[in-house]
């Protein structure tokens, strides 16, 4: 009973080991630090995939463990991306404007620089003033704080309203869809102050790192993403391992009963909702500098549904399942939709995977839900079962070979 | 004698149906009480009101020495104040082990942050083992509670209630679906428990109530019809009418 957290959860250690080996392997195969086997764009894809895995981890915590099917978590992911994107864009534009103005006879005033930045960033939407939401965009520490604060506070307010009125089940899912859709529609407007449907772009250029090639930056972001995923995994595994995990799984299974044990179910849901929103936001803040561009389409309701599909296919209620599901499905998705999957010629019809991939994904989702509710993670149970079969129940006798209760009945 | 729980003049209506009609009831700090009554008499609704699941339309529910009103408190707050409830069908968390179930119920801070940073001390483990032994599940601590038999689940739930250390226990049909031996064990336990706290047992089974050997409250159409010893109430002509269905109306 006094064993440490890692000793009680050997899968965490295995996961961290595999993640480090993966990161090391990719580094060795990269153009910047190794034998240049993997292209920079593929390394970016891998780095982005790690961020999606982190978001899936958050989804698994809230859906697989606490039983709240939130279909709005990609909104928090994208908000995290917007927050970091604002600094990236501002700081980079600032550099460009200062360089441009340095050719003038008189040194540029702070106001001139400010105006130059605003004109550069907002020219596309026909504005020339920095909106109020860009107040902190000049400062990296402040904008990093906003990565956590903005999605965190939104989740806190939304969750407080929803859980306090005891909205549960499919109604809550619909509400979260409405939240992400409303946010997307708002951001699509030019006067939302975040460049409307143009979104923020050029995020792959990191200010202050002009001399560093994208080859290197992509590997650095892969490291950062892997580190964040590792830390996120540790955090979530720790959260679900103790009594807190016990309580949220109990809430998933019978929330009325948990209330009669004296736990405030709403408080727990709000805590988990906000925590997972923050994890998703951090994942988003690491994702979009690798993607290079963010626009309101990223908050479309379908994005959050994909997140749920990944977790369902990977196996909800187990953390590595969520990671496997997100990695596998999003990589397959980029392979199929990237036009690299060979088309299948049936003679009368050619299956073009760019068109048919979504149908395949939908069918796999239905198949997993119907036939393998444990998802891909369930395969590990099968493997485990081959080595030490699930014998159902406690031993009837003192010997190893004694029948177990249910076997005795059969 | 000061009362632990005092319900007075409580009424509740569901869609025009008066489930509880001007009900008054009180129980002392260490008392065993049985509530009997035909189907639809309002027994379960009464428990729902005390535990905060249902809000009455009118009336007062006062609790403890300071006569706190339970009506403004949430279910969780009422449970923390010391009201424990056992449901008719056993509701344990089947996906988790017996030890986890008991550990969750163990009296401790209930806030999310306090629980997140809480870790069991040796005393907690021994208390869980002790409780499990008390309800006859001493050797089943590591088993998933979903694997337990119906009777064992009832026991586990009683164990969880004990772990909460409530001052008032509301027990809904504890003997339903139990074997004779299990019933006797349950009777002994309830009588034992009532020495240190208030226990309210809702039961259909007259034989079981007789064994509890305690004061009986008869509910009918949402209000108290008779109160007293079992022999006293079973001689009451109104009670006989209600139970045998010879209503003169």
For residue A391, being part of any structural domain is answered with: no
Which residues in B lie closer than 8 A to residue A256 (C-beta atoms)? 53, 75
The model's pLDDT over B130-181, given as tens digits with 9 standing for 90+, comes to: 999 988 888 888 899 988 888 888 889 889 988 999 999 998 888 777 788 8
Domain boundary among B165, B200, B219: B165
The model's pLDDT over A112-159, given as tens digits with 9 standing for 90+, comes to: 888 889 988 888 888 788 888 898 998 999 999 999 999 999 999 999
pLDDT band at A225 (very low <50, low <70, confident <90, very high): very high
Give the A-side interface with B, CB within 8 Å. 1, 239, 242-244, 246-247, 249-250, 253-254, 256-257, 259-265, 267-268, 271, 392-394, 405
> What is chain A's mean pLDDT, rounded?
88
Residue of A nearest to B85 (CA): A260
Give me the pLDDT at residue A334, please. 86
CA distance A353 to A343: 6
Domain membership of residue A88 as a residue range: 5-300
| Choice among B125-134, B159-168, B234-243 with the minimum mean pLDDT | B234-243
Nearest to B116 among A239, A253, A261 (CB): A239
One domain for residues B77 and B126: no
Q: How many domains would you assign to chain B?
A: 2
One domain for residues B122 and B22: no
Q: How many domains would you assign to chain A?
A: 1
Q: Is the pLDDT of residue B203 over 90?
A: no
The model's pLDDT over B52-99, given as tens digits with 9 standing for 90+, comes to: 988 898 889 999 888 888 888 999 999 999 999 988 778 899 989 999
Cβ within 8 Å, pair B115-A243: yes
8 A C-beta contact, residue A290 and residue A17: no
One domain for residues B38 and B67: yes
One domain for residues B66 and B179: yes
% of chain B at pLDDT higher than 70 = 97
CATH number at residue B3: 3.40.50.300
Give me the pLDDT at residue A391, please. 47
Q: Is the pLDDT of residue B3 over 90?
A: no
Which ipTM was obtained for this model? 0.86
More confident residue, A89 or B248: A89
Kindly state the helix (H) or strand (E) to which residue B136 belongs, with its residue range.
none
Q: Is the pLDDT of residue A227 over 90?
A: yes
Give me the pLDDT at residue B244, please. 66
Distance from CA of A253 to the nearest CA of B (A): 7
Six token digits for residue B76:
């969780």
More confident residue, B26 or B248: B26
Residue (of A300, A303, A88, A71) closest to A186 by Cα position: A300
For residue A72, being part of any structural domain is answered with: yes
Q: Is the pLDDT of residue A48 over 90?
A: yes
Q: What is the pTM of this model?
A: 0.89
Q: CA separation (Å) from A380 to A63, A376, A383?
A: 20, 8, 5
| Angle A272-A273-A276 from CA coordinates, rounded to 5° | 80
Q: Is the pLDDT of residue B249 over 50?
A: no
Q: Is the pLDDT of residue A393 over 60?
A: no
Strand partners for A334: none
One domain for residues B60 and B178: yes
Give me the pLDDT at residue A388, please. 47
One domain for residues B47 and B34: yes
Q: Is the pLDDT of residue A401 over 90?
A: no
Domain membership of residue B229 as a residue range: 1-82+168-249
> How much is the average pLDDT of A204-233?
92
pLDDT band at B44 (very low <50, low <70, confident <90, very high): confident
Domain boundary among B135, B165, B195: B165
Which residues in A lie closer than 8 A to residue B142 (C-beta atoms)? 394
One domain for residues B91 and B61: no
Cβ within 8 Å, pair B112-A261: no
One domain for residues B63 and B116: no
3-state SS track over chain A: CCCCHHHHCHHHHHHHHHHHHHHHHHHHHCCCCCCCCCCHHHHHHHHHHHHHHHHHHHHHHHHHHCCCCCCCHHHHHHHHHHHHHHHHHHHHHHHHHHHHHCCCCCCCCHHHHHHHHHHHHHHHHCCCCCCHHHCCCCCHHHHHHHHHHHHHHHHHHHHHHHHHCCCCHHHHHHHHHHHHHHHHHHHHCHHHCCCHHHCEECCCCCCCCCCCCHHHHHHHHHHHHHHHHHHHHHHHHHHHHCHHHHHHHHHHHCHHHHHHCCCCHHHHHHHHHHHHHHHHHHHHHHHHHHHCEECHHHHCHHHHHHHHHHHHHHCCCCHHHHHHHHHHHHHHHHHHHCCCCCCEECCCCEECHHHHHHHHHHHHHHHHHHHCCCCCCHHHHHHHHHHCCCCCCCECCCCCCCCEHHHHHC
Give me the pLDDT at residue A124, please. 83
Give me the pLDDT at residue B246, please. 52
């Amino acid at each position: 009973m006094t064993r440490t957290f890692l000793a009680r959860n050997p899968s965490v250690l295995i996961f961290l080991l595999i993640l480090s080996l993966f990161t090391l392997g990719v580094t060795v195969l990269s153009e910047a630090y190794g034998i240049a086997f993997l292209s920079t764009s593929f390394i970016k894809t891998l780095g982005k995939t790690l961020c999606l895995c982190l978001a899936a981890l958050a989804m698994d915590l809230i859906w697989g463990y606490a039983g709240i099917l939130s279909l709005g978590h990609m909104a928090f992911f994208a908000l995290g991306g917007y927050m970091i994107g604002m600094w990236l864009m501002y700081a980079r534009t600032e550099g460009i404007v200062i360089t441009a103005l340095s050719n003038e006879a008189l040194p540029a005033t702070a106001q001139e620089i400010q105006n130059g930045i605003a004109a550069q960033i907002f020219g596309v939407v026909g504005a020339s003033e920095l909106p109020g939401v860009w107040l902190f965009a000049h400062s990296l520490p402040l904008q990093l704080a906003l990565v956590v604060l903005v999605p965190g506070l939104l989740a806190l307010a939304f969750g407080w309203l929803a859980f306090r009125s005891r909205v549960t089940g499919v109604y809550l899912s619909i509400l979260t869809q409405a939240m992400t859709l409303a946010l997307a529609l708002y951001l699509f407007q030019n006067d939302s102050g975040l460049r409307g449907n143009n979104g923020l772009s050029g995020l792959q250029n990191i200010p202050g790192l002009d001399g560093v090639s994208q080859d290197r930056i992509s590997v650095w972001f892969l490291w950062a993403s892997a580190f964040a995923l590792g830390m996120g995994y540790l955090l979530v595994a720790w959260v679900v391992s103790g009594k807190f995990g016990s309580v949220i799984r109990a809430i998933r299974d019978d929330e009325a009963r948990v209330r009669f044990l004296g736990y405030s179910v709403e408080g727990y849901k709000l805590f988990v909702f906000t925590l997972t929103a923050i994890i998703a936001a951090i994942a988003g803040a690491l994702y979009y500098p690798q993607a290079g561009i963010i626009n309101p389409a990223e908050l479309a309701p379908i994005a959050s549904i994909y997140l749920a599909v990944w977790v369902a296919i990977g196996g909800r209620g187990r953390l590595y399942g969520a990671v496997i599901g997100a990695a596998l499905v999003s990589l397959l998705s980029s392979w199929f939709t990237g036009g690299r999957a060979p088309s299948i010629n049936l003679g009368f019809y050619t299956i073009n995977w760019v068109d048919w991939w979504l149908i395949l994904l939908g069918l796999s989702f239905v198949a997993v839900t119907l036939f393998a509710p444990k998802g891909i993670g369930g395969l590990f149970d099968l493997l485990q079962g081959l080595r030490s079969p699930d014998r159902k129940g406690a031993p009837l006798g003192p010997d190893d070979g004694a029948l177990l209760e249910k076997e005795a009945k059969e | 004698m000061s009362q632990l729980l005092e319900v007075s003049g409580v009424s509740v209506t569901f869609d025009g149906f008066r489930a509880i009609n001007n009900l008054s009831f009180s129980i002392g700090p260490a008392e065993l009480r049985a509530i009997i009554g035909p189907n639809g008499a309002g027994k379960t609704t009464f428990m729902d009101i005390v535990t905060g699941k249902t809000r009455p339309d009118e009336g007062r529910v006062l609790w403890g020495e300071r006569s706190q009103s339970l009506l403004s408190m949430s279910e969780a707050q009422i449970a923390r104040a010391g009201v424990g409830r056992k449901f008719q069908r056993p509701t344990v968390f089947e996906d988790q082990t017996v030890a986890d179930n008991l550990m969750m119920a163990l009296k401790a801070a209930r806030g999310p942050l306090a629980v997140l940073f809480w870790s069991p001390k040796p005393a907690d483990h021994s208390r869980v083992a002790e409780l499990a032994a008390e309800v006859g599940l001493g050797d089943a601590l590591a088993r998933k509670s979903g694997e337990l038999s119906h009777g064992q689940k009832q026991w586990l739930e009683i164990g969880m209630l004990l772990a909460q250390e409530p001052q008032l226990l509301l027990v809904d049909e504890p003997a339903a679906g139990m074997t004779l031996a299990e019933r006797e064990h349950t009777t002994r336990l309830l009588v034992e428990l009532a020495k240190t706290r208030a226990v309210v047992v809702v039961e259909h089974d007259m034989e079981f109530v007789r064994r509890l050997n305690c004061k009986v409250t008869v509910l009918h159409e949402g209000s108290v019809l008779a109160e007293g010893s079992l022999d006293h109430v079973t001689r009451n002509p109104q009670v006989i009418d209600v139970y045998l269905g010879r209503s003169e109306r």
